[in-house]
């Protein structure tokens, strides 16, 4: 088994005398900045004036323009959307990096695909949480954490690996497991996971199930509960106890259906297409397409996004979730908890 590090295996002292700039305050940024701060590290957030700036200030985090935050920091974590990283890096980060600083990413995309080329006199590593940023924050507040991968691309100071581990501990990943990787492995597996399984595979499976039922004349509300709402409940069981744990809670009829019908839907053909997706990631074809799409202001991305939001499952889902106040309440109480926690600091 690969070596998995936990809090007790990681010495965070190496990061304690350093200033960390978290550039960006979105999904990952707000979580890293607040978790690191509450773990006792010295943090400044780098932003441009706007919504995120206001939110970071409300959260009680120190905020500066990107260039100023980078200038005064030793460790710079880049948590901007991948597509904006190269230009902000060239204009505001690179000119303000000093020799011996650390340049850090939560995803290897831009370094691996040569969109960001770091100078030789800095450490370069990644700390990539294996979960959405909002859960990196929520689980941390609950005393738990999201696992993370760390990987060193360039070790100028000889401290890069220790710094990466300490950073991972600071955001709470040491409570769940911290695992070593390379930029190539993180980039390719992360892109594959989100495209074939976690996001692309899942949304396509859910929509196909919903459409199969509604096209056969079943009520959209029934199809929504069956194919979308219940998914969280089933996935929670898998998260807690794996496939066996989930199968313990479902009926034997469902388990038999799982065994005989699952492989009729997802089978060797599906796996062959998954391999095609992986090949496009490995050859850089996917990255090239995404970079070009951004260069022409995302015509396809925007058109598909509008169409997806208009899908019947989204309309039905909105109405049904309005009628399930506890779904909103759960989200609200988590929000309130954040506000209370921030007020107390």
Ligand X SMILES: NC(=O)C1=CN([C@@H]2O[C@H](COP(=O)(O)OP(=O)(O)OC[C@H]3O[C@@H](n4cnc5c(N)ncnc54)[C@H](OP(=O)(O)O)[C@@H]3O)[C@@H](O)[C@H]2O)C=CC1
Ligand Y SMILES: CC[C@](O)(C(C)=O)C(=O)O
- What residues are annotated to the active site? 107
Nearest distance in Å: CB 45, ligand X: 8
Pair type for strands 102-105 and 75-78: parallel
Q: Which of 43, 44, 47, 102 binds ligand X (CB under 6 A)?
A: 47
Q: Which of 86, 118, 133, 317 binds ligand X (CB under 6 A)?
A: 133
Q: What is the CA radius of gyration of the chain?
A: 22
Name the binder of 199 from Mg ion, ligand X, ligand Y, none, CB < 5-8 A by kind: ligand Y
Residue nearest to ligand X (CB): 26
User: In this structure, are residues 102 and 161 in contact, taking their beta carbons and an 8 Å threshold?
Assistant: no
Options 34-42, 47-55, 164-172, 220-228: segment touching ligand X (CB under 6 A):
47-55
Nearer to Mg ion, 54 or 194 (CB): 194
Alpha-carbon gap, residue 4 to 106, rounded angstroms? 18
User: In this structure, are residues 136 and 35 in contact, taking their beta carbons and an 8 Å threshold?
Assistant: yes
Binding-residue pattern over the window 123 to 162 for ligand Y, x denoting contact by CB under 6 A: --------xx------------------------------
Alpha-carbon gap, residue 27 to 332, rounded angstroms? 17
Name which of 99, 83, 15, 84 is nearest 47 in CA terms: 84
Positions 25 through 44 that interact with ligand X (CB under 6 A): 25-29
In the three-class reduction of DSSP (H, G, I as helix; E, B as strand; rest coil), residue 172 is classed as coil
Alpha-carbon gap, residue 66 to 50, rounded angstroms? 13
Q: Which of 75, 89, 190, 237 binds Mg ion (CB under 5 A)?
A: 190
Residues 6+ apart with CB under 8 A from 140: 31, 34, 35, 38, 171, 172
Name the binder of 51 from ligand X, ligand Y, Mg ion, none, CB < 5-8 A by kind: ligand X
Sign of CA dihedral 318, 319, 324, 329: positive
Binding-residue pattern over the window 184 to 223 for ligand Y, x denoting contact by CB under 6 A: ------x---x---xx------------------------
* Binding residues vs ligand Y (CB under 6 A): 131-132, 190, 194, 198-199
Which residue ranges make up the site for Mg ion (CB under 5 A)?
190, 194
Q: Which residues bind ligand X (CB under 6 A)?
A: 24-29, 47-48, 50-52, 66, 79-82, 84, 88, 106-107, 128-129, 132-133
């Amino acid at each position: 088994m690969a070596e998995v590090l936990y809090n007790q295996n990681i010495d965070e002292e190496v990061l304690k005398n350093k200033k960390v700039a978290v550039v960006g305050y979105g999904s990952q940024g707000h979580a890293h900045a607040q978790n690191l701060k509450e773990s006792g590290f010295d943090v400044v957030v780098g932003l441009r004036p706007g919504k995120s700036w206001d939110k970071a200030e409300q959260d009680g985090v120190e905020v500066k323009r990107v260039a100023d935050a980078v200038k005064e920091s030793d460790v710079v974590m880049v948590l901007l959307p991948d597509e904006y990283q190269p230009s902000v890096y060239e204009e505001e980060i690179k000119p303000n990096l000093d020799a011996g600083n650390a340049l850090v990413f939560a995803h290897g995309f831009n370094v691996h695909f040569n969109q960001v080329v770091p100078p030789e006199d800095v450490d370069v590593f990644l700390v990539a949480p294996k979960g959405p940023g909002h859960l990196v924050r929520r689980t941390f507040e609950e005393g738990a954490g999201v696992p993370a991968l760390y990987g060193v691309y360039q070790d100028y100071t000889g401290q890069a690996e220790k710094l990466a581990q300490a950073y991972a501990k600071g955001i709470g990943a040491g409570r769940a497991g911290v695992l070593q990787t390379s930029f190539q492995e993180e980039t390719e597996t992360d892109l594959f996971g989100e495209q074939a399984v976690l996001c692309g595979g899942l949304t396509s499976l859910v929509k196909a199930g919903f459409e199969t039922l509604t096209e056969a004349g079943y009520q959209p509300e029934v199809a929504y509960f069956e194919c979308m709402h219940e998914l969280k409940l089933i996935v929670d069981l898998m998260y807690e106890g794996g496939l066996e744990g989930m199968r313990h809670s479902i009926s034997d009829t469902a388990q038999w259906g799982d065994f005989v019908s699952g492989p009729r839907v997802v089978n060797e053909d599906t796996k062959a297409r998954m391999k095609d997706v992986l090949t496009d990631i490995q050859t850089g074809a996917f990255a090239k397409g995404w970079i070009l799409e951004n260069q022409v202001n995302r015509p396809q991305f925007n058109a598909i996004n509008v169409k997806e939001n208009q899908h019947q499952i989204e309309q039905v889902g909105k109405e049904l979730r309005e009628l399930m106040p506890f779904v909103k309440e759960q989200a609200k109480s988590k929000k309130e908890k954040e506000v209370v926690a921030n007020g107390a600091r």
